[in-house]
């Protein structure tokens, strides 16, 4: 068996690193509907769900119990990579706790909806559109791993009649607005839910489930509920032109700023293929997608393709090695993680990605290792934070050797020293 010494970073993880505000409580439901409830870090780390949490949040929760039924949306790729098995039910026939597919996303059905209070952190799903000039429209999707604080919020109904969609909200927003909203759609929507809403001094607008829809949801989409974020702009994935200044956050409990990209638009990216009639005759303002821009004037009748638009994602794009080390693990931390990793080692499933991030109190020991041999492919990657790289070439050679043998790694051993020692047997 190969042996090598690798360093990992011990970083501070405090309340200050989490998003300041209100979070939805964990494990509110007395029923789990067959979804796992984890009582401790060790229990979660010994489950395939640890791989899922690492794939979506990049870390494991710090507060227990943790209930996976709390999630409303599940990342399909992370779910499948973790080899979690659950029957998928038709979205029109769901009952509480059922897993279903809605628009390509796995979702867990909940038959109740409650508005979020002011200053709540909410997980969202957003698709950047060139016509969202002001305001940022999202689906409320607990479990997405993309966070935003709703600030001061106001709640409006979603009428059963599609012709009255957002009617009550629009009437309230345009009253006494200093700017007359454009008569052209969809610019009108940006004027109302962007400019006028900002003048009202609110930060977000929540919409209730559509009246009469069963199973509950909006616009025929099961379990989907709208929120308009007033102070950022949906034409950018990150809500702002400079992605490095995004107010979006990632990680468990919004623990860090979202590592976000403002993706360029495909020429066919648009809200819908064509504007609704009769706007489709003379064209929308602005055009729904680049393909509909003129001249010539007949471009307005070309079809856009919403499937080419990019969803907002948070995740590690490229993490440099760092040299920050604040303190060594406590003996209790060592024992806890040893037990969890030993349990993971004994798992019969040795092909899935092995990822772990240990968090306790104000400290977090971070390791992220990926070994992927799916379908016979030999793709290895690893992400490490390294302390005091004094002999850079030596450490690099060790790292490359590790990558070439990542599938042979059997377990981690936390050593009570100033660094983390990997000691495979």
pLDDT of the residue at 20: 72
Spatial neighbors of 307 by CB under 8 A, at least 6 apart, are none
Position 98 in a domain: yes
Query: Using an 8 Å Cβ cutoff, are 352 and 415 in contact?
Result: no
Query: What pLDDT was estimated at residue 347?
Result: 54
Q: Is residue 86 part of a domain?
A: yes
pLDDT at 390: 34
Q: Specify the pLDDT at position 278.
A: 92
The pLDDT score that the predictor gives to residue 306 is 95
The structure tokens 């993706």 sit at 263
Residue 187 lies in a domain: yes
* Separation of CA 358 from chain center: 20
357 lies in some domain: no
Q: Which of 282, 242, 243, 275 is nearest to 260 (CA)?
A: 243
Q: Report the pLDDT value the prediction gives residue 104, as an integer from 0 to 100.
A: 84
Assess if residue 349 is contained within a domain: no
Contact 221, 172 (CB under 8 A): no
Taking residue 294's Cβ as centre, other Cβ atoms within 10 Å add up to 10
d(C-alpha 363, C-alpha 337), whole Å = 13
Per-residue pLDDT of the chain (425 residues; tens, 9 = 90+): 323 322 232 223 333 345 578 999 999 999 999 999 999 999 999 999 999 999 999 999 999 999 999 999 999 999 999 999 999 999 999 999 999 999 888 999 999 999 999 999 999 999 999 999 999 999 999 999 999 999 999 999 999 999 999 999 999 999 999 999 999 999 999 999 999 999 999 999 999 999 999 999 999 999 999 999 999 999 999 999 999 999 999 999 999 999 999 999 999 999 999 999 999 999 999 999 999 998 999 999 999 999 999 999 998 433 333 333 334 444 554 555 556 555 555 555 443 333 333 333 333 333 333 333 333 333 333 333 333 333 444 444 444 444 444 443 333 333 333 333 333 33
Nearest to 305 by CA among 53, 127, 176: 127
Separation CA 197–CA 169 (nearest Å): 10
Report yes or no on 409 lying in a domain: no
Domain with 237 in it: 72-308
Domain annotation covers residue 247 = yes
Residue 296 located in a structural domain:
yes
Q: How many domains does the chain have?
A: 1
Q: Which residues of 246-277 are buried (b: 16+ CB within 10 A; e: fewer)?
A: bbbbbbbbbbbbbbbbbbebbebbbbbebbee
Measure the CA–CA gap between 56 and 38, rounded to whole angstroms.
17
| pTM of the model as a whole | 0.72
Three-state SS string over the chain comes to CCCCCCCCCEEECCHHHCCCCECCCCCCCCCCCCCCEECCHHHHHCCCHHHHHHHHHCCCCCCCCEEHHHCCEECHHHHHHCCCCCCEECCCCCCCCCEEEECCEEEECCCCCCCCCCCEEEEEECECCCCCCCEEEEEECCCCCCEEECCCEEEEEECCCHHHCCHHHHHHHHCCCCCCCCCCCEHHHHHHHHHHHHHCCCCEEEEEEECCCCCCEECCEECCCEEEECCCECCCCCCCCCHHHCCCEECCCCCEECCCCCCCCCCCCCCCCCCCCCHHHHCCECCCCHHHCCCCHHHHHCCCCHHHCCECCCCCCCCCCCCCCCCCCCHHHHHHHHHHHHHHHCCCCCCCCCEEEEEECCEEEEEEEEEECHHHCCEEEEECCCCCCCCHHHHHHHHHHHHHCHHHCCCCCCCCCCCCCCCCC
d(CA 143, CA 55): 12
Question: What is the residue-averaged pLDDT of the chain?
Answer: 79
Query: What contacts 233, CB < 8 A, 6 or more positions away?
Result: 132, 133, 134, 135, 136, 194, 239, 240
């Amino acid at each position: 068996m190969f042996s090598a010494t690798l360093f990992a970073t011990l970083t501070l993880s405090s309340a200050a690193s989490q998003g300041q505000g209100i979070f939805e409580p964990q494990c509110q439901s007395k029923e789990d509907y067959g979804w796992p409830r984890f009582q401790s870090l060790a229990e979660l780390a010994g489950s395939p769900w640890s791989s899922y949490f690492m794939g979506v949040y990049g870390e494991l929760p710090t507060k227990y119990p943790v209930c996976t039924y709390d999630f409303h949306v599940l990342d399909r790729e992370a779910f499948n990579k973790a080899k979690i098995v659950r029957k998928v039910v038709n979205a029109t026939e769901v009952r509480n706790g059922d897993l279903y597919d809605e628009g390509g996303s796995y979702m867990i059905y909940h038959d109740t909806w409650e508005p979020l209070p002011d200053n709540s952190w909410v997980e969202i799903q957003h698709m950047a559109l060139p016509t969202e000039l002001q305001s940022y429209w999202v689906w409320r999707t607990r479990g997405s791993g993309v966070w935003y604080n709703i600030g001061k919020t106001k709640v409006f109904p979603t009428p059963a009649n599609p012709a009255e969609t957002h009617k009550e909200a629009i009437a309230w927003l345009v009253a006494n607005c200093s700017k007359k909203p454009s008569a052209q759609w969809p610019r009108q929507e940006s004027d109302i839910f962007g400019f006028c809403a900002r003048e009202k001094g609110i930060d977000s607008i929540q919409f209730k489930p559509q009246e009469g829809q069963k199973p509950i949801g909006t616009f025929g989409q099961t379990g989907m509920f709208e929120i308009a974020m007033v102070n950022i702009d949906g034409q950018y994935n990150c809500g702002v032109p400079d992605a490095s200044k995004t107010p979006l956050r990632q990680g468990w409990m919004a623990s860090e700023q979202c590592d976000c990209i403002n993706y360029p638009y495909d020429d066919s990216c648009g809200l819908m293929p064509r504007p609704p009639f009769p706007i489709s005759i003379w064209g929308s303002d602005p055009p729904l997608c680049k393909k509909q821009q003129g001249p010539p004037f007949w471009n307005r009748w070309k079809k856009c393709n919403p499937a080419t638009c990019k969803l907002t994602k948070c995740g590690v794009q490229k993490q440099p090695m760092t040299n920050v080390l604040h303190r060594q693990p406590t003996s209790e931390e060592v024992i806890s993680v040893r037990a969890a990793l030993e349990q993971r080692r004994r798992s019969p499933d040795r092909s899935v990605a092995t990822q772990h991030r240990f968090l306790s109190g104000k400290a977090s020991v971070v390791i992220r290792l990926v070994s992927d041999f799916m379908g016979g492919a030999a793709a290895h990657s690893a992400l490490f934070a390294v302390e005091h790289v004094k002999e850079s070439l030596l450490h690099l050679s060790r790292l490359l050797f590790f990558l070439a043998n990542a599938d042979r790694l059997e377990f981690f051993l936390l050593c009570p020293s100033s660094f983390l020692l990997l000691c495979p047997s």
